[in-house]
Amino acid sequence: MRNPSELYALSDDQPALDRPVLVQALTGFVDAGNASRLAREHLLTIGEPRVVATFDLDELYDYRGRRPPMLFVEDHWEHYEQPHLVIQLLHDAAGSPFLLLEGPEPDLQWERFTAAILELVKRFGVRLTIGMNAIPMAVPHTRPSGVTAHATRPELITGYEPWLQRVQVPGSVSNLLEFRLGQHSHDAVGFVAHVPHYVAQAEYPAAAERLIGCLTKATGLLLPTDELHAAAEAVRADIDVQIAQADEAASLVRALEEQYDAFTRGRDGNNLLAEQTGPLPTAEEIGAELERFLAEHTRNGEEPPL
């Protein structure tokens, strides 16, 4: 492996940090409801960001696979949206510093990039690294956003109940980084918000609000979410209006509510699943039916109800 230190450059005015938190919010992996992006943008808005490390993206990025946008105006190229992969210094509402790794997920040299992050974790004295992501789930928008938590030590996610037992998924740099941090005895946590699959392609700020809440709980950082909460309420109201106008969609959401409530009651040990009058549809059945419903509306030239 080539020297990982050559992948990044540090800014000239390095801050004095006392065991900060590092939040990783790379783009390019699955991000249902754009929840991770919304959470990242929220942190950048409230955190007064300042770049402390910049990565050599020419070593890591597949420009032909993810062509950056360019703006053409009349007879010239006016703007190039150059991608950046950086670590930013931010501050919470109480002035406590923390770090944010943000930019596109590397396409190349995953192990070298991960080794570079490990170097920076040691250099900055990072005490905890936290990843944020979101996946589509067969859950209703009328219930609180769920979250799957994972960590290098179980003590780091006490209080979070597992939603999944054993599953194989495509790898990502964020998950590889958490894995490698654990191998080197560094604490790392990941939070994955659950987004109703029928709104997974739209912005779903309720999931972003939940991610920020998990970040606050894990770190003690003071990160207000008033704007995200207001946006989540507005989106919830809009979805409710659209659901009310489509009987099939309303029926499917009710089925999701029953499934969700039965699952949470069973998980809490109340043994109330036997009270259900009939078998609930599986997540796959509900998802397939709702996708069919939306596809039919699209083919008929109608505005999808969600």
Using CA atoms, how far residue 295 sits from 119, 203, 221, 283, 306, in Å, is 48, 20, 43, 18, 11
pLDDT at 17 over 70: yes
Q: Which DSSP letter does residue 91 get?
A: E
* Mean pLDDT computed over every residue of the chain: 88
The DSSP code sequence of 115-138 is HHHHHHHHHHT-SEEEEEEEEEES
Angle between helices 247-267 and 226-244 (to 10 degrees): 130
* Phi, psi dihedral angles at 61 (to 5 degrees): -110, 140
Overall average pLDDT of the 167-178 stretch: 91
Which tens digits make up the pLDDT trace of 185-206? 999 999 999 999 999 999 999 9
Q: Please say whether the beta carbons of 70 and 77 come within 8 A.
A: yes
Q: What is the Cα–Cα distance from 59 to 289, expressed in whole angstroms?
A: 44
Specify the higher pLDDT residue, 216 or 304. 216
Q: Which DSSP letter does residue 143 get?
A: S
Overall average pLDDT of the 232-253 stretch: 91
Overall average pLDDT of the 246-255 stretch: 88
Overall average pLDDT of the 256-274 stretch: 70
Task: Give residue 286's pLDDT.
Answer: 47
Query: Where would I find the H helices in the chain?
Result: 35-46, 110-124, 173-183, 205-219, 226-244, 247-267, 283-299
Q: Please say whether the beta carbons of 146 and 194 come within 8 A.
A: yes
Which tens digits make up the pLDDT trace of 266-288? 766 644 333 443 444 454 554 45
Going 105 to 67 to 135 to 220, the CA torsion angle's sign is positive
Q: What is the token pair recorded at 195?
A: 């987004």
Q: Which amino acid, residue 64?
A: R
Overall average pLDDT of the 255-272 stretch: 74
As a three-state string, the secondary structure of 161-195 is CCCCCCCCCCCCHHHHHHHHHHHCCCCEEEEEEEE
Which tens digits make up the pLDDT trace of 81-122? 999 999 999 999 999 999 999 999 999 999 999 999 999 999
Specify the higher pLDDT residue, 289 or 219. 219
Q: What is the Cα–Cα distance from 133 to 150, expressed in whole angstroms?
A: 12
Task: Give residue 303's pLDDT.
Answer: 43
Task: Give residue 267's pLDDT.
Answer: 67
Q: What is the Cα–Cα distance from 45 to 36, expressed in whole angstroms?
A: 14
Task: Give residue 285's pLDDT.
Answer: 52
Task: Give residue 297's pLDDT.
Answer: 45
Which tens digits make up the pLDDT trace of 121-167? 999 999 999 999 999 988 999 999 999 999 999 999 998 887 667 77
